[in-house]
Amino acid sequence: MYTRMNQRNLTSSQRTRFVEAVVELKRAGRYDKYVRLHAEYFAADGESGLRMAHMAPTFFPWHRQFLLVFERELQTIDPGVTIPYWDWTTDNKASSALWASDFMGGNGRRSDGQVMTGPFAYEAGGWPINYGVTSEKYLTRNIGRPDRPITLPTKAELNGALAIATYDVSPWNSAPSTQGFRNKIEGWTVSETKGGYLHNRVHQWVGGHMIGAASPNDPVFWLHHAFIDLIWVRWQRRHPASAYLPSRPLAAKDPEHGRVVSAQEPMPPFNVKPAAMKDHRRFYSYEEE
Ligand code: CU1
Ligand code: CU1
């Protein structure tokens, strides 16, 4: 049992240890499989087959397991390291210490989006992009999306989503009309021109590699998703009578049959069911608890 901290409360040594463990995973050739795996399980509504990481109820439990596997591998390098979370309702500016040179590094430069400062800058030598949806070898960001400016989600927006008592609703996808908690947080309920809602808008706000299926190329991915995971925890506390849906496999005649996983079916590539992931305290706790 270990604790995930708010990134703003990490000591300077904790910041360094997290970064060093991540860079060591990359150096050892053990990082990029997470980028590939995330891309592989990023099936959209328009594609065929099972949807797992996104546009599906498994959005929360699949990412919980994904982070857990990554975190355990980080701990083989430094047993004291855990994934910090980034509360983007509070640390919502490009000037936040999150983006300092001893941690995530700064924004991409204007000409090509290349991140020039910090441990993940290409010039620093420790962070080549080996598997991307574009051909750049360097990490890119475009904070705030200056050509069509967007801001990070507010506390009021987050609270609005947390008030929804139903976990997810049919058709369990990215339909803008879908008003369940999962899609409200994941963010397909607001158009892309507005940056999407909560989770999606954070990916859009960071920009560069954080947009799209290969988003774990930017290590801030883990901090963003640790907060998404904490949001699920907050929602469970607020709605103790609510649970993961769908609770049972969908009927064969349901158009979503074979496309979404119910509470007691395994989530590939992991051999775990959503129901087994509901209590994070089996694995870790959050600093705010
Ligand atoms: Cu994801
Ligand atoms: Cu994400």
Q: What is the pLDDT of residues 90-138, one digit of tens each?
A: 999 999 999 999 999 999 999 999 999 999 999 999 999 999 877 889 9
Residue 271 lies in a domain: yes
Residue 127 lies in a domain: no
pLDDT at 179: 83
Q: What is the pLDDT of residues 16-44, one digit of tens each?
A: 999 999 999 999 999 999 999 999 998 77
pLDDT at 121: 98
Are residues 277 and 61 in contact, defined by beta-carbon separation less than 8 angstroms?
Answer: yes
Distance 188 CA to ligand 1 centre (A): 13
Distance 54 CA to ligand 1 centre (A): 6
**What CATH number should be reported for the domain holding residue 263?**
1.10.1280.10
Q: What is the pLDDT of residues 237-275, one digit of tens each?
A: 999 999 999 999 999 999 999 999 999 999 999 999 999
Residue 126 lies in a domain: no
Ligand nearest 198 Cα, by number?
2
* pTM as predicted: 0.97
Query: Among 288, 283, 193, which residue's Cα sits nearest to residue 1?
Result: 283
Average pLDDT over residues 56-76: 98
Distance 200 CA to ligand 2 centre (A): 7
Q: Evaluate if residue 198 carries a pLDDT over 80.
A: yes
Domain ranges, residue 12: 2-93+150-286
Percent of the residues in the chain that have a pLDDT greater than 70, as a whole number: 98
Distance 135 CA to ligand 2 centre (A): 21
Ion ligand 1, residues whose Cβ is below 5 A away: 53
Residue 163 lies in a domain: yes
Q: Evaluate if residue 191 carries a pLDDT over 90.
A: no
**Burial class of residue 254 (count of CB atoms within 10 Å of its CB; 0-12, 13-18, 19+):** middle
Query: How many CB atoms neighbour CB 28 within 10 A?
Result: 11
Q: Number of folded domains in the chain?
A: 1
